[in-house]
Amino acid sequence: MSTKQGIDGQRERFAKIPRVDHVVAHPRLAAARQRLGPGVVTQLARTQLQQVRSACRAGQPAPELDEVAAQVAVRAEKTLRRRVRKVINATGVMLHTNLGRAPLSGGAVEALSGSAGHYSAIELDLSTGRRGPRGPFAEYALAQLAGAQDALVGNNNAAAVLLALTALAAGRGVVVSRGELIEIGGKFRIPDVLARSGAEMIEVGTTNRTRVSDYEQALDDHSDVALLLRVHQGNFRQTGFVERPRLAELAELAHRRGVILVKDLGGGALIDFSELGLTGEPTVASCVQAGADVVCFSCDKVLGGPQGGVLVGRAELVGKARRDPLARALRLGRLPLGALEATLASYLAGEVEQIPVIRALKTPLTEVRQRVEGWCRQLGEAGVLARPEQISGAVGGGTLAEAAVESVAAVLETEDAVRLAARLRAASVAVIARIQDDRLLLDGRSVLPGEDADLLAAVVAAFAGSE
Ligand SMILES: *Cc1c(COP(=O)(O)O)cnc(C)c1O
């Protein structure tokens, strides 16, 4: 082909590319125009047409108007699907950070639906009619449940740790073990948070071994230490030749030398999970009892509430954090605050089974097996081969890291587990499955009560679509 012919061909192809206004006005995009507005649809059409032009430049024929409109409709659908949506968690990881961690209790949902669409007396003392403290019930309940003098609620635990370090140690030294300079995920790295707080990090010990005498040496060598920081290692584990002082030993040292002991606990267990056979997760109260002056933890890990972060501890220190200007920037919104209060009310009433994560962890294995056997039977009737298998999973969220949670999963017979998982994610109620050794598993413990029908419908549809 001569160059002239090539240029002529390209010109011809380009001339056939549909115009952007014709694409936007296409009836196929009526719903998209209504839901996203014409401006967004025009933007999506332009992006699609850019792709069309590059394809034409590479020698491809120009697509018809209908085809371009259909492609833009797919883009619009994808944009809308990026909204926060309900999904079914069949991964077995009960506290999955990518899936919003803890689902809320019925009481918390009721609290939200009762107040979300109304005004609420969030910072108004109804007895005096004057401005009052924000969320006093949550803070009172948290202090009670932790056996601490006071509590302060913020946006998440990252905020609680940052606030504790800023309010209590900015411009001064913080002693921390080299074995605890960890990254928790989502770029939360202890050395970075310390740097941002304005405190000076004083590392002690080695990666695998830190002794009380190391902390003591640091206190001898540095005159301006504000606090000792102890970090729960989450799902990072060291085994073998390792050594760390007990929290109570650090507390003894801190108090003897007149510095503060802050514990970043992470999880926020308000009940003793070892009673469920899940060991290795200290309760908030046990940390306070061991002598930590301030304990920081999340509300949406093993506590089972909405996103939030808490500082509990000595009144004078929590008060200092409350008065810090950063506290205002890191405060909790009124919706999660209401949900947190309802969650804490379940703890006060001793009704922890109301909290979905705790209920799921407490469900006996036999009950999980019966449920999964039921799924397999129903799937079999619909022509999908599945069989139950006992598995061992993790709680997630960096909590209960040492505790293996026994569960039962439905293993689906498939050639391509990755493709099936993608189909399940595309279901109208998306199902998030677990892939293990090229097999697709649906865990019977993390699927919430009442989600069975949607789960099975998604599986049957995914198989029907693949035939
Ligand atoms: C999870 C975790 C955090 C961060 O908590 P968020 O509530 O996710 O902000 C901080 N420290 C530790 C030890 C954690 O486990």
Nearest alpha carbon to residue 178 among 198, 158, 208: 208
Ligand 1 first shell, C-beta below 6 A: 156-158, 161, 184, 188, 231-232, 234, 264, 266, 298, 309, 398
Q: How many residues does the chain have?
A: 467
pLDDT of residue 49: 97
Report yes or no: 262 and 254 within 8 Å, Cβ to Cβ.
no
For residue 59, the SS3 value is coil
DSSP characters for 198-255? TPEEEEES-SSB--HHHHHHHHHH-S-EEEEEEE--TT----SS-B---HHHHHHHHH
- Per the DSSP assignment, residues forming a β-bridge with 407 are 391
Calpha distance 232→21 (Å, rounded): 58
pLDDT of residue 390: 96
- The strand pair at 439-443 and 434-436 is best described as antiparallel
For residue 157, the SS3 value is helix
pLDDT of residue 350: 97
Sign of the four-CA dihedral 397, 410, 364, 107:
positive
Angle at which helices 157-169 and 315-323 cross, to 10°: 100
- pTM to 2 decimal places: 0.93
Residue bearing the CA closest to ligand 1, atom 12: 266
Question: For tokens 């056997």, what's the residue?
Answer: 373
pLDDT of residue 32: 97
- Amino acid identity of residue 432, one-letter, is I
Tokens of 45: 């059409």
Nearest alpha carbon to residue 263 among 235, 238, 223, 228: 228
Tokens of 241: 């030749």
Task: Give the position, in ligand 1's atom list, of the atom nearest the Cα of 299.
Answer: 7
Mutate which of 155, 161, 188 for ligand 1? The one with the most ligand atoms within 8 Å of its CB, which is 188
Cβ partners under 8 Å of residue 380, min gap 6: 386
- Amino acid identity of residue 63, one-letter, is P
pLDDT of residue 275: 86
Calpha distance 107→350 (Å, rounded): 14
Task: Give the position, in ligand 1's atom list, of the atom nearest the Cα of 307.
Answer: 7
Measuring CA to CA, how many Å separate 95 from each of 162, 247, 360? 23, 26, 11
Report yes or no: 30 and 57 within 8 Å, Cβ to Cβ.
no
- Please give the distance, rounded to the nearest whole angstrom, from the Cα atom of residue 198 to the centre of ligand 1: 20
pLDDT of residue 23: 97
pLDDT of residue 13: 86
- Please give the distance, rounded to the nearest whole angstrom, from the Cα atom of residue 213 to the centre of ligand 1: 28
pLDDT of residue 295: 98
Q: What are phi and psi of 389, to 5 degrees?
A: -145, 135
Residue bearing the CA closest to ligand 1, atom 6: 157
- Please give the distance, rounded to the nearest whole angstrom, from the Cα atom of residue 278 to the centre of ligand 1: 20
Mean pLDDT, 10 residues at a time, the chain of 467 residues: 71 92 97 97 98 93 96 96 94 93 97 95 94 94 98 97 98 97 87 96 95 98 97 82 95 98 96 88 97 98 97 98 97 97 98 96 96 98 96 78 85 95 95 95 97 98 80
